Amino acid sequence: MEWQYALILLLGTVCTLMFMGLPVALAFFAANVLGTALFINGDIGLVFMPIEFHNAIKFSLVPIALFLLMGEILLQTGVAFKAIGAIDRMIARIPGRLSVVSVVGGTVFSSLSGSTIANTAILGSVLLPDMMKRGYKPAIAMGPIMAVGGVAMLIPPSALAVLLASLAEQSVAQLLIAGIVPGILMAILFFAYVMIRCSINPSLAPAYEPDDENLDDAVSMEIHIGGRMRWSGSYDGSMKRTVNRILPFVLYIFPLGTIFIVVVGSIFFKIAAPTEAAALGCLASLAACYLFRLFKNGIRISGIDGADFGFSAIWRALIETAKINTMILFIIAGSLVFSQALANSGATDGLLQEVTSLDLTPLGVVIIMMCVLLFLGAFMDQVSMLLLTLPFFLLGSTSLQATFNIDVIWLMVLMLITMEISLLTPPFGLLLYVMKGVAPFDVSLGQIVRSALPFIFIELAVLILLIVFPEIATWLPGKVR
């Protein structure tokens, strides 16, 4: 069979079944059965096919589950909500205040959770009702929440970065570190955009006095042991306003900051491998949550609410992690034999030779790859597009990356940003639907897309910036090598 027909047959099977609504993993499994029967020894190949799936699930994929668990622990115990409340209190009166809170809060939370969905859902449910109450226009209320949700994909711990690096058989640690600078750069640009736009057009986000009533109260602290108060003290000095403003930020954000330091620091200083860092991050999340619980029961400080949760919250976090992890790894298992069938049919080599014969420059190839991902991203989810394109882009010595000698870490960061953009592009942009789900008012998909549009342009600008200046992505991982 000509490689073109094999390519159309295999990709066509996956895409047709996928678009009809069959779970993506099973669409891949169906293509595997077809590909194995046609290109890998027919019936005998089909008997051997299940053996191959065992090889798909590798130890390097464990951080995905653990990074997801980290975020879920903070989400299910309610600690993530407290952190956003603390940031809300810290930020004074500025243009588009609540939109700025969502950008800062989203960036902080994305450094604790590898899940874009969790990030967007939390910010949307916590901040959006307040924004609407304050008269914010949907254009400036929803856009920053969705955009900053995607930053979770870049700033470690990013589950998608772990998936990409492990599938491409590249350093997970390097890719996690490489995402930090572009992620922060993107958050800064979102921040600047919100500030500038709200300064030019204040009607988008009407100014209001933040709830400062209790800032003038005395700062008090009580220590309770065994249900009885053992010690109490208060401060009513001239600095009480500043202390009241900063205290929630210090007490809520500092313990959460340690989680980021534990994860990224242990990887950066080579104390732990990504899997171990992710597991340490889970324990650090748990410790932070129990510290917050202490603020509820043992140490009572004015203005600090603490968090009240039981074992059931941790159990819910584990179940939710099991669900998302199974969903992701099941697709990966399904796609493994798919790339083998593509290779055996000659489709991979045929297409790559065709592209190579076009006499393109490496930059031209990178731009084509990004365009393909942007196109696919409008219709399918990130894992599926990754698994469809990886055999051509990154896997093996004949891949486009290897043939054109493209820096692999840089390319993977570009891919992550492209996938982040695709989360916001209709008709399948997942975050658009998450926003529609959490919005406390009736909003059309068109309104949501329009509010996301400026942020899509900012993300495209960062993508172009990274293509022109690869050092933005490669500088920090270079320090780890």
Partner 1 sequence: MSLFLDVIETGFNRFLRFLIFVVAASIGLFAVLIPLNLLLIKTNLGAIWWLHEAVEYALYVGVFIGAPWVLQQGAHVRVDVFASALPRRAAVQLERLLDCFGVSLCGLLCFYGARAALWEFEDGTLPDKDLRIANWYMLAVFAGSFFLLAVEFLFRLRRARAIVDQDASDPVRASF
With respect to partner 1, which residue has the nearer C-beta, 57 or 250? 57
With respect to partner 1, which residue has the nearer C-beta, 75 or 406? 75
Rounded Cα distance between 308 and 156, Å, is: 27
CB of 140 to partner 1, least distance (A): 23
Q: Are 432 and 448 in contact (CB under 8 A)?
A: yes
Count Cβ atoms below 10 Å from residue 50 Cβ, excluding itself: 9
- The one-letter amino acid code at 325 reads N
Q: Are 33 and 45 in contact (CB under 8 A)?
A: no
CB of 1 to partner 1, least distance (A): 22
- The one-letter amino acid code at 84 reads I
With respect to partner 1, which residue has the nearer C-beta, 107 or 116? 116
Q: Are 419 and 373 in contact (CB under 8 A)?
A: yes
Residue 76 to residues 29, 117, 118, 309, 398, Cα–Cα distance (Å)? 33, 14, 10, 9, 45
Helix (H, G, I), strand (E, B) or coil at 270: coil
Helix (H, G, I), strand (E, B) or coil at 221: strand
With respect to partner 1, which residue has the nearer C-beta, 75 or 159? 159
With respect to partner 1, which residue has the nearer C-beta, 168 or 280? 280
Residue 106 to residues 60, 149, 153, 374, Cα–Cα distance (Å)? 27, 6, 12, 24
Count Cβ atoms below 10 Å from residue 438 Cβ, excluding itself: 18
Rounded Cα distance between 159 and 386, Å, is: 13
Is residue 55 packed enough to be buried (19+ CB in 10 Å), middle (13-18) or exposed (0-12)? exposed
CB of 315 to partner 1, least distance (A): 7
With respect to partner 1, which residue has the nearer C-beta, 177 or 278? 278
CB of 431 to partner 1, least distance (A): 9
Angle of CA points 377, 381, 387, to nearest 5°: 90
Structure tokens at 303: 């203005």
Rounded Cα distance between 51 and 474, Å, is: 38
For residue 119, what are the β-bridge partners? none
CB of 231 to partner 1, least distance (A): 34
Q: Are 30 and 22 in contact (CB under 8 A)?
A: yes
- Dihedral of the alpha carbons of 97, 102, 107, 110, in degrees to the nearest 10: 170
Sign of CA dihedral 439, 441, 445, 451: negative
CB of 84 to partner 1, least distance (A): 20
CB of 254 to partner 1, least distance (A): 21
* Residue linked to tokens 């004015």: 302
Residues 6+ apart with CB under 8 A from 132: 141, 440, 441
Closest CA to 3 of 340, 344, 398: 344
Q: Are 227 and 238 in contact (CB under 8 A)?
A: no
CB of 328 to partner 1, least distance (A): 7
What's the DSSP call for residue 287? H
What φ, ψ does residue 230 adopt, rounded to 5°?
-105, -25
